[in-house]
Amino acid sequence: MPNVGSAGQRKLVGAKVLVVGAGGLGSPVSLYLALAGVGTIGIVDFDVVDVSNLQRQILHTNADVGRRKVISAKETLQAHNPEVNVINNFATRYLVNDAAYLAGKPLVDGAILVFDGQAATYIPGQGCYRCLFPDPPPPGEVPNCAEAGVIGALPGLVGSIQALETIKLVMDIGETLSARMLIIDALTMEFREIKVRRNPNCKLCGDNPEVTELIDYEIFCGIAPPQAVA
């Protein structure tokens, strides 16, 4: 395959990718990375498989209901690629964005809701999620997938885009979604892009950053009340 070859495959085998969540988006991302030959895939998810997940989460089956998602995901991925080593809320989104930037790592981000999806790749120094969304919405203003629902095929589409972005980053080929966000309207099949520019006033990656370490993101997003100082 052009641009891949044995050298590209060796890069994939030696790559280490962290996938946050083993649900609607994390499932196709993890599966296609494993099928591509990525050697180490870390998955972080503290949830268990629920029957309501099965219409969109392709790593799990009815037999997995009640099991931890990471265990189900590990078994499925290793069934496809025995050599793989398996180690959506706003609070998590800001946490992952900040952690990736502070660690100097690229972040391939995706989001889905009802018939809408988006994907972006954030490279340190080229703008981040906070440059677009400096502050989270008030609690309860934006529903999540459990509340509003999501069409089952949409996670597969957005997750596949995320997997492709990750593979291109690992092999250093092609053009990624850095400095732009892809927005998908699955009802009309309209794809559009918005520019992502580094904001010099960004609290994380701006000229005078205020966020220099990880914080309590549930408090930041208004999910949990601030803790009293003794």
What are the structure tokens assigned to 112, written together?
């889905």
Q: What is the pLDDT of residues 67-96, one digit of tens each?
A: 999 999 999 999 988 766 665 678 889 999
Beta bridge partners of 108: 121
Query: What is the b/e burial string over 153-182, where b = at least 16 CB atoms within 10 angstroms of the residue's CB?
Result: ebbbbbbbbbbbbbbbbbbeeeebbbbbbb
C-alpha distances out from residue 33 to 9, 112, 163, 199, Å:
12, 20, 6, 32
What are the structure tokens assigned to 187, written together?
């009802």
Rounded to an integer, what distance in angstroms lies between the CA atom of residue 10 and that of residue 132?
35
| Half-sphere exposure at residue 139, Cβ-oriented, CA atoms within 13 angstroms | 10
pLDDT of residue 88: 62
What is the rounded end-to-end Cα distance, in angstroms, of the chain? 62
Q: What is the pLDDT of residues 143-194, one digit of tens each?
A: 877 788 888 899 999 999 999 999 999 999 999 999 999 999 999 999 999 9
The domain spans of the chain are 1-87, 90-220
Q: What is the pLDDT of residues 112-145, one digit of tens each?
A: 999 999 999 999 999 999 999 999 998 888 887 7
Q: What is the pLDDT of residues 3-46, one digit of tens each?
A: 778 888 899 999 999 999 999 999 999 999 999 999 999 999 98
Write the CATH number of the domain with boundaries 1-87: 3.40.50.720
> Residue 65, Cα to own-chain centre: how many angstroms?
23
Same topology between domain 1-87 and domain 90-220: yes
Rounded to an integer, what distance in angstroms lies between the CA atom of residue 146 and that of residue 172?
36
For residue 229, pLDDT over 50 is answered with no
Rounded to an integer, what distance in angstroms lies between the CA atom of residue 154 and that of residue 57?
11
- Residue with the two structure tokens 């370490």: 213
Stated pTM of the model: 0.86
CB 101 within 8 A of CB 128: yes
- Residue with the two structure tokens 């609290």: 203
Task: Return the CATH class of domain 90-220.
Answer: alpha beta
Beta bridge partners of 118: 111, 183
